[in-house]
Amino acid sequence: MGERAKQTFESYIKTRKLFIMLLTSYHNHSDYSDGKASVQQMYMAAKQSGLHEFGLSDHWIKPDDPDCAFRSWGMSWSRLDEYVEECLKWKKELDDENFTIRLGLEVDHFSANWEENIKQLQNYPFDYIIAAVHFVGSFPIDHRAADWEGMNQHEVDTMWRRYFAKVRDIAATRVYDFLAHLDLPKKFNFHHSAALTDDIEETLQALSQNDLPIELNTAGWDKDCRSPYPDLPLLKRCCELKIPLLINADAHHPAHVQNHFAEARALAKEAGYTQLCRFEKRRRIMQPLL
């Protein structure tokens, strides 16, 4: 293909993207953290599924609490360079006009050392960095139901309050590209009471004021809670506050890269969303929700 023809084709592709919905999923995991398959297997499954853009975002967890038990499911700190290099290797091999690999990372936020953690990641060519809360202190939010069992409602509410306080801290930093699983503590069906109404509203206002997108994470449909993160009432309020949205599978297995995506698009529309966002080189791009 000649240079002029190539430029014309690339221009056509860019114009076409303005009028179609690109199917994207950026929150997914390989065996660098707690995924069940290799980087190659996850990328190949995503490409074969018909996704247009796909990113792995393995867990990067550097806690400020030495009692946080994360090593069984978080990426080894020494493997970050290897992870980035392997993702970029497959990007070079698999990217084409219909499929693009995006480079991502899911970073647990800790109030005492988040600046140090983010600084360490600045020299990598990430397309997006996801903020997540999996620990309140050393308490693991979504590791197992047994961690929650035996709590009374007041204690459950306290965990939810502390969780949402960390989400507000995340929003205030303005250094992340979007937030993972907004209402994750419901995973094992330990729900907050109505006493948290003000905390939740304050949290959503913080996300809105700091312009931090959330994801509609479809993995929750297959957890004990049988509900995506977030559920419809919370999603509607996010839409009212103009909090941008992505749809992600949070896939840990190649078979799950588009799990519940049709339901998720329908739910997003029911909540009032008309656009979704995607990312390239830490830049947010809005596209229609079709």
pLDDT tens sequence across 162-219: 999 999 999 999 999 999 999 999 999 999 999 999 999 999 999 999 999 999 999 9
pLDDT for residue 67 = 81
pTM above 0.85, yes or no: yes
pLDDT tens sequence across 225-263: 999 999 999 999 999 999 999 999 999 999 999 999 999
pLDDT for residue 66 = 81
> Is pLDDT above 80 for 155?
yes
Q: With respect to CATH, is domain 22-288 assigned 3.40.30.10? A: no
Whether residue 145 contacts residue 120, with contact meaning beta carbons closer than 8 Å, is answered with no
- Which helix (H) or strand (E) is 214 found in, with range? strand 214-217
pLDDT tens sequence across 114-136: 999 999 999 999 999 999 999 99
Distance CA 272, CA 284 (A): 20
Angle between helices 232-240 and 197-209 (to 10 degrees): 40
Surface-to-core class of residue 122, CB atoms within 10 Å of its CB (0-12 exposed, 13-18 middle, 19+ buried): exposed
Residue scoring higher pLDDT (18 or 194): 194
Q: Which residue has the tokens 């509607």?
A: 236
Cα 72 to Cα 101, 107, 117, 250: the distances in Å are 26, 16, 20, 18
Residue scoring higher pLDDT (66 or 55): 55
